[in-house]
């Protein structure tokens, strides 16, 4: 692995991401970018109009450090409505610069150098960087794709074996990026039991909580026995309201843990998104029909892409949630090199995807070498054209 000059040793290996390479390749080749997970259609007008009205007012200035009271109250109400969990908006809710800052601030505030973090891979790429910046040690456990239809799974004994006396934190991501897995009640009960048994703190990333498809249901680990007092729950507005560039997120949990995270957060961004905070508060108060509608719409887009990938000869694991579908490229890339497949795909089909190997710890990258992630959070015209282009590989 090449060494980056001047970069601290703990961040060596976290150079420019493959997302930048693939996005640049999309621009250079005029390809459809199904690599990065952001929608190309607007959010609800009830949210956008509030933001437009707030710009040019006092909302342009620094909001309160923990977030505006209006947004913190809306977050607490929303969590109570959908998760039946109660949080004090004054002491147990913290507004952050997206979920990424919430995760980083949590790790920076909770981990001592050498503390171990157990989590599942493939994993959202900021997790490894957050652990590294905190001086922690990753203890990844692999998720296994199904041989055919069915969900991704894990070996319970592998999780148990990953926990040592140095383990401080269990990180969960459900619904899971990049696999689209929704952890089941039985799986979460097992993981929660381990957390209680070993007195672990739990950090759970639930940004895709409302983007869950038929046959699956999201359950927050914080609602399980013995978990509320040890769990920090992270979510954000970006995926729920199609405003990924606003970077408004939040973290909920018991007051002592949230106070610790706030200590780190105040020296990162301090505050963010003044005019967007009242808009997100309005969005969180939208009727239930909005949230069921966005999941139903995205499920239709999932089905469109999954069928197109199958027609192109690519075995695909149909996701239970999120923006993403994972394929095994070996039928069309005999050496199983997902990165080579992604670099060649713009020339073959005019489409860009992301190799899943980047979502694994370096020593485990071989586990995802043959896997590639496609995003389906795109408008009808773009998604339809992408499916047609992918069909060229089967012609």
Q: What is the pLDDT of residues 302-311, one digit of tens each?
A: 999 999 999 9
**Which 8-state DSSP code applies to residue 41?**
S
Of the pLDDT bands very low, low, confident and very high (cuts 50, 70, 90), residue 77 is: very high
> Does residue 15 have a pLDDT over 80?
no
Distance of CA 26 to the CA centre of its chain: 22
Mean pLDDT computed over every residue of the chain: 95
Q: Mean pLDDT across the stretch 330-335? A: 93
Q: Is residue 2 part of a domain?
A: no
Q: Mean pLDDT across the stretch 18-22? A: 84
Domain boundary among 287, 302, 324: 287
Q: Same domain, yes or no, for 51 and 175?
A: yes
Q: Same domain, yes or no, for 259 and 198?
A: yes
Quote the Cα angle for 19-20-25, to 5°: 95
Q: Is residue 96 part of a domain?
A: yes
Residue 147 pLDDT: 82
Residue 339, domain CATH: 3.90.1150.10
Q: Mean pLDDT across the stretch 284-291? A: 98
Torsion of CA 252, 296, 153, 103, to 10 degrees: -30
Of the two residues 230 and 36, the one the predictor is more confident about is 230
Query: CA 356, CA 364: separation in Å to the nearest integer?
Result: 11
Query: CA 68, CA 250: separation in Å to the nearest integer?
Result: 12
> Does residue 107 have a pLDDT over 80?
yes
Q: Which residues of 41-53 are buried (b: 16+ CB within 10 A; e: fewer)?
A: eebbeebbebbee
Q: Is residue 221 part of a domain?
A: yes
278 in helix, strand or coil? helix
| β strands within 114-185, DSSP E | 116-121, 137-142, 167-173
Measured in degrees and rounded to the nearest 5, phi and psi for residue 64 equal: -55, 150
Model-level pTM greater than 0.85?
yes
Residue 267 corresponds to which tokens in the numbers above? 């020296």
Q: Same domain, yes or no, for 272 and 310?
A: no
309 in helix, strand or coil? helix
Helix ranges, the chain (H):
18-29, 45-54, 69-83, 98-110, 126-133, 156-162, 185-198, 238-241, 255-265, 276-284, 288-311, 338-349, 380-390
Domain boundary among 287, 309, 338: 287
What length does the chain have?
395
* 151-199 pLDDT, tens digit each: 999 999 999 999 999 999 999 999 999 999 999 999 999 999 999 999 9
Of the pLDDT bands very low, low, confident and very high (cuts 50, 70, 90), residue 106 is: very high
Query: CA 384, CA 382: separation in Å to the nearest integer?
Result: 5
Q: Is residue 223 part of a domain?
A: yes
Q: Is residue 321 part of a domain?
A: yes
Domain count, the chain: 2
Residue 13 pLDDT: 83
Q: Same domain, yes or no, for 165 and 238?
A: yes
* Residue whose C-alpha is closest to residue 67's, from 20, 10, 105, 110: 105
Q: Same domain, yes or no, for 317 and 330?
A: yes
Domain boundary among 252, 271, 287: 287
Percent of the chain with pLDDT over 90: 90
Q: Same domain, yes or no, for 255 and 107?
A: yes
Q: Mean pLDDT across the stretch 118-138? A: 96
Residue 393 pLDDT: 78
> Does residue 242 have a pLDDT over 90?
yes
Residue 149 pLDDT: 79
Q: Is residue 1 part of a domain?
A: no
Q: Same domain, yes or no, for 76 and 109?
A: yes
Query: CA 327, CA 372: separation in Å to the nearest integer?
Result: 5
Residue 148 pLDDT: 76
Least confident of 5-14, 223-232, 333-342: 5-14
Residue 36 pLDDT: 86
Residue 42 corresponds to which tokens in the numbers above? 């607007």
Residue 279, domain CATH: 3.40.640.10
Q: Same domain, yes or no, for 131 and 216?
A: yes
> Does residue 20 have a pLDDT over 90?
no
* 349-371 pLDDT, tens digit each: 999 999 999 999 999 999 999 99
- Which residues, including other chains, have CB under 8 Å from residue 202's CB and lie 6 or more apart? 169, 170, 171, 172, 192, 195, 221, 222, 227, 230, 231, 232
Of the pLDDT bands very low, low, confident and very high (cuts 50, 70, 90), residue 395 is: low
Q: Is residue 154 part of a domain?
A: yes
Residue 323 pLDDT: 97
Q: Is residue 17 part of a domain?
A: yes
Residue 220 pLDDT: 98
Q: Which residues lie across from 374 on neighbouring strands?
A: 325
Q: Same domain, yes or no, for 233 and 99?
A: yes
Q: Same domain, yes or no, for 215 and 325?
A: no
Q: Same domain, yes or no, for 274 and 338?
A: no
Residue 2 pLDDT: 76
Of the pLDDT bands very low, low, confident and very high (cuts 50, 70, 90), residue 201 is: very high
> Does residue 1 have a pLDDT over 80?
no
Residue 19 pLDDT: 81
Residues of the domain holding 99 = 45-287
Q: Same domain, yes or no, for 68 and 157?
A: yes
């Amino acid at each position: 692995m090449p060494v980056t000059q001047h970069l601290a040793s703990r961040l060596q290996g976290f150079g420019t991401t493959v997302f930048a390479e693939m996005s640049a390749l999309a621009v250079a080749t005029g390809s459809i970018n199904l690599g990065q997970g952001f929608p190309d259609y607007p959010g609800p007008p009830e949210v956008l109009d509030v933001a437009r009205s707030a710009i040019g007012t006092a909302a342009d200035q620094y909001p309160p450090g923990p977030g505006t009271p209006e947004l913190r109250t809306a977050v607490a109400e929303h969590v109570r409505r959908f998760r039946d969990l109660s949080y004090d908006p004054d002491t147990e809710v913290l507004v952050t610069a997206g979920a990424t800052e919430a995760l980083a601030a949590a790790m920076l505030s909770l981990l001592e150098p050498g503390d171990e973090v157990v989590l599942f891979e493939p994993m959202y790429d900021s997790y490894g960087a957050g652990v590294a910046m905190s001086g922690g040690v990753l203890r990844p456990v692999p998720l296994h794709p199904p041989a055919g239809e069915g969900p991704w799974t894990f070996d319970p004994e592998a999780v148990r074996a990953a926990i040592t006396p140095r383990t401080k934190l269990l990180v969960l991501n459900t619904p899971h990026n990049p696999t689209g897995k929704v952890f089941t009640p039985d799986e979460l009960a097992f993981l929660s039991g381990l957390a209680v048994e070993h007195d672990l703190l739990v950090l759970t990333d639930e940004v895709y909580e409302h983007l869950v498809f038929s046959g699956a249901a999201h359950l927050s680990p914080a609602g399980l026995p013995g978990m509320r007092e040890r769990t920090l729950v992270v979510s954000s507005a970006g995926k729920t309201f199609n405003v990924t560039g606003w970077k408004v997120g939040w973290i909920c949990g018991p007051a002592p843990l949230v106070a610790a995270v706030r200590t780190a957060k105040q020296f990162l961004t301090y505050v963010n998104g003044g005019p967007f905070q009242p808009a997100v508060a309005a969005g969180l108060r939208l009727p239930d029909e909005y949230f069921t509608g966005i999941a139903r719409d995205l499920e239709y887009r999932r089905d469109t892409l999954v069928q197109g990938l199958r027609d192109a000869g690519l075995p695909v694991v149909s996701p239970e949630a999120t923006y993403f579908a994972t394929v095994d490229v070996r039928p069309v890339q005999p050496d199983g090199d997902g990165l080579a497949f992604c670099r060649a795909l713009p020339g073959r089909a005019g489409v860009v995807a992301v190799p899943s190997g980047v979502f694994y710890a370096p020593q485990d990258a071989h586990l995802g070498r043959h896997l590639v992630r496609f995003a389906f959070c795109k408008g009808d015209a773009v998604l339809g054209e992408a499916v047609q282009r992918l069909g060229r590989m089967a012609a």
